[in-house]
Structure 1
Amino acid sequence: MPKPYEGLFVLDAAQGIAGPYCGMLLAQNGATVVKLEPPKGDWSRGLSTRSGSHSAMHTVYNRGKRAIVLDLTLEEDRAKAAKLAARADVLIEAFRPGVAARIGLGPETAKPDAVCVSISGFGQQGPYSERPCTDSVAQAFSGLCAVNPGMDGTPHRVGTQLIDVFTGLSAFAACQAALASQAQDRASGAAPQRRHLDVSLMQAAASMLVLPVAEAGLIGRMPDEVNVPAGTYAAQDGVGVMFALVREAEWVTLCEVIGRPDLPADPRFKDFPARFTNKPALVAILREVFQTRPSAEWLAKMQAARLLCDRVNTPLEWLDDAHVKAVGAAPVLQQPGLGPMPLPVIPGIGPWVEPAPALGQDTDAVLAEMGI
């Protein structure tokens, strides 16, 4: 794969997921990324499966970086960090708004042509800027939980750090746009300007909900579900079968496949609006139907009819799938201290199986190379 950011120096002073993921993607594309951590390490080193200073969570979001430790409560180490920040082409921080500036890691410390990425829960300005935020909080605040009621009708958070990861992707995209804009400046003979990117979990979460946000604002209420009775149904063997419907013709086909060709003629289920109105009655019928056959049999029938459906897999079942193996969708990283870890390929960019650094493993080398 091309390495468009080779020669770029990135100082990643963020912890957790969003900022580090942005830094990792820059590293995958050729940048030299130095991970700055406090003496106790990024808090992600203490979560998930771990050994020594390594953890699964820290590994997946910090591959290919160099790691240094500085104690920013000490004036001497703050001065070192400020010198690193002053040389960075890209500076990533995820402190509470205002903290980075106080400790010498804000945009004011950066080069005149640096791209500065500030990641926070609710943004750098506004009445909630100081409010603490996590992935779960962002899911709740944005409305994601509300539009994910599940078959039990109760709002649920998505069971992984979806907003953190998407915030990291958003920061990476914004950073790429800023770097491209600077390249245009240089090509035209203009002096590149410093860019300060305000990236928040709140805004990233809302951008994932662009359709329900836009439609709810348009009509003044929550819009109806658009594809009832799409969802997950337990088959006879207890395995979930998920299907989606985007056209009325698919509803007719589904009913034929499951042996209920009478359902489309029922006025309660004639079209998407009617099925939304009568969802409880229809879901009860379909749950009973799906209990009559094992999942493999249902999926064979439905996929033969070109319906949008699949088995509800666990991550382990996904890894063991023949298609996943055939296309090399999850190459294995040999992470020192942890062992072999399968890691999904970054879409459109490719595999990245560089190990993540141990806590502070490059401190002396990096500072010496920088003459600090």
Structure 2
Amino acid sequence: MDEAMRPYKGLRVLDAGQGIAAPYCAMMLAACGADVIKLEPAEGDWSRGLGTAKDGVSVMTVSFNRGKRSVVLDLKSPEGRAAAAKLAAGADVLIEAFRPGVAARIGLGPENAKPDAVCLSISGFGQTGPYSERPCTDSVAQAFSGLVALNDGADGVPHKVGAFVSDMATGIYAFSAVQVALAARAQDTTPRRRVIDMSLMAASSNLLMQQIGEWGVQGKPAAPPNAPAGAYQCSDGAWVMVTLVREAEWLAIAEVLGIQDAARDPRFATFPLRWENREALYAIVRAAFIKRPSAEWVKLLQGARLLADRVNTPLDWLSNEHVVASGAVTRVQQPQLGEVPLPALPGLGHWHALAPTLGQHTAEVLAEIGA
């Protein structure tokens, strides 16, 4: 990674989060040069045991905790809380993801931080309001925000997105907010503590900014603006995704698919009409796509400068010629798991740091703070 993109050297971050959202934010700060201390209970971050895991390190651990130092403390003991308080008091950025109110009770709240610290709290629904105590996960956030409602499957059932989009978005928005706070801190003439209230609810809803605005303006369910956009199965069993943003593209798609009669059908003359008559339209488009293999359709559609591509699996993506040629993959040589292929960090590049084992740096860090 380019050293010019690591401006946070010398910055101390205490990451008291588990799972994805808070650790992802902290990992991005580590990638940018910060010294990130990951505070864990004796059993470790719960993500250490999810998915492919060995000796307390999982692929999820590597994905979201590279480049950190792991410290294990018993926050139920006076000694553990005293050490945690010392860590909090020395952190430039304090990150916690407990239920609202818990961090303050165990000495990890903003009042325990430096006078000029950036304090980030991540929760499901925020620190205030009637839902602040509700438990929340990525799936719950997707459902609450409206994302699941907009993701109808062919079975007519609303589905969550397969990726952890709410958690990931929360981590990204948190990383952005922390950077803004650090930039503001650099302009201070007197110390000022900044507190950031970040929630999965807020992050997830921002992914639906346009849809929430559209539905709100209309006061009713708003049709997607680009029927017959979607994924269609081809003769080889693979799927092709096609979309359109201009009316003229519908005519071009119909020409490539050989369904010119549909292009002349008054039922499909405009975006609103195509949505209104979508079932009939989708049947026509499906019947066209199933006649050829995916590679042929992709070549024909892209040859006409249309927005289309094959629906890849993660393995397809890893082996794709463009991904390989552009160096879009980082390969982390994690001792417990072997080679872990991960996407390069957008805009930052390759980050090859290893994930720590549970408590790997406890003695080292406690010695640094005299605890």
TM-score (norm 2): 0.98
> Partners in 1 of 2:89 and 2:330 — Cα distance?
37
How far apart in 2 are the matches of 1:299 and 1:169? 32
SS at match of 1:262: helix
Aligned to 1:47: 50
Q: Letter of the aligned partner of 2:307 in structure 1? A: L
Secondary structure of 2:329's counterpart equals: coil
Instruction: Confirm or deny that 1:172 pairs with 2:175.
Output: yes
Please state if 1:56 is matched with 2:79.
Answer: no
Aligned pairs for 1:220-369 (under 5 A) are 220-369=219-368
Task: Report if aligned partners of 1:295, 1:311 keep a CA contact under 8 Å in 2.
Answer: yes
**Counterpart code for 2:57:** H
Distance 1:141 1:315 in 2: 27
Q: Is residue 151–residue 231 contact of structure 1 (8 Å, CA) maintained in 2?
A: no
- The structural deviation recorded for 1:156 is 1.1
- After the TM superposition, which of the residue ranges 8-17 and 143-152 deviates more from structure 2? 143-152
Structure 1 residue 59: Cα displacement: 1.2
1:38 equivalent among 41, 44, 47 = 41
Distance in 1 (alpha carbons) for counterparts of 2:217 and 2:299: 41
In the TM superposition, what is the alpha-carbon distance from 1:286 to its structure 2 partner? 1.0
Query: Which has the larger displacement, 98-107 or 214-223?
Result: 214-223
The aligned residue for residue 164 of structure 2 is 161
Superposed displacement of residue 16, structure 1? 0.5
Counterpart contact for 1:302–1:309, Cα < 8 Å: yes
Task: Give secondary structure in 2 for the equivalent of 1:309.
Answer: strand
1:62–1:357 CA contact under 8 A, matched in 2: yes
Q: How many angstroms does 1:366 deviate by?
A: 0.8
Give the secondary structure class of the aligned counterpart of 2:226.
coil
Q: Deviations over 1:42-75 (max 9, x none)?
A: 0000101000110111110000001110011111
Identity over aligned pairs, percent: 61
Q: Which of residues 76, 79, 100 in structure 1 aligns to 2:103?
A: 100
Deviations 1:258-312 (A, max 9, x none): 1111211101111101100000001011111111111111111111101100000
User: Where in structure 2 are there 5+ consecutive unaligned residues?
Assistant: none
1:67-126 CA-to-partner distances (Å, cap 9, x unmatched) read: 110011111111000011000000000000000000000001001100000000000000
Displacement of 1:222 in angstroms is 1.5
Determine whether 1:148 maps to 2:151. yes
Distance 2:287 2:133 in 1: 50
Per-residue CA distance 1:177-230 (angstroms, 9 max, x = gap): 000001111xxxx21310010000000000111011111111111211100000
Kindly indicate whether the alpha-carbon contact (under 8 Å) linking 1:78 and 1:104 is maintained by their aligned counterparts in 2.
yes
Q: Which residue of 2 aligns with 1:19?
A: 22
Three-state SS of the structure 2 residue aligned to 1:361 is coil
3-state SS, counterpart of residue 197 of structure 1: strand
Shift of 1:154: 2.1
Residues in 2 aligned to 1:32 and 1:13: alpha-carbon distance in whole angstroms: 14
- Give me the whole-angstrom Cα distance separating, in 1, the residues matched to 2:287 and 2:191: 64
Could you tell me how far 1:370 is from its partner in structure 2? 1.9
1:127 is paired with a residue whose SS is coil
TM-score by length of structure 1 reads 0.98
Separation of aligned partners in 2, 1:201 and 1:24:
18
Match of 1:66 among 66, 69, 75: 69
Q: Which amino acid aligns with 1:269?
A: F
How many angstroms apart in 2 are the aligned matches of 1:302 and 1:43? Answer: 45
Q: Distance in 1 between matches of 2:335 and 2:107?
A: 33
Q: Distance in 1 between matches of 2:330 and 2:194?
A: 35
- Matching residue's letter, 2:18: Q
- Structure 1 CA distance, aligned partners of 2:302 and 2:317? 18
2:196 is paired with a residue of what secondary structure?
A: strand
Picking from 127, 132, 144, the partner of 1:129 is: 132
Moved more, 141-150 or 112-121: 141-150
**Aligned residues of 1:343 and 1:353 also touching (Cα < 8 A):** no
Structure 1 segment 106-125 matched on structure 2, within 5 A: 106-125=109-128
List alignment gaps of at least 5 residues for structure 1. none
Aligned residue pairs: how many?
368
Alignment check: 8 A CA contact 1:227 1:246 kept: yes
Cα distance in 2, alignment partners of residues 184 and 251 from structure 1 = 52
After superposition, the CA RMSD in angstroms is: 0.8
Aligned partners of 2:82, 2:368: CA distance in 1, in Å? 16
User: For the Cα contact (< 8 Å) 1:334–1:341, is it kept in 2?
Assistant: yes
1:138 aligns with 2:141: yes
- Once structures 1 and 2 are overlaid, which stretch shifts more, 32-41 or 190-199? 190-199
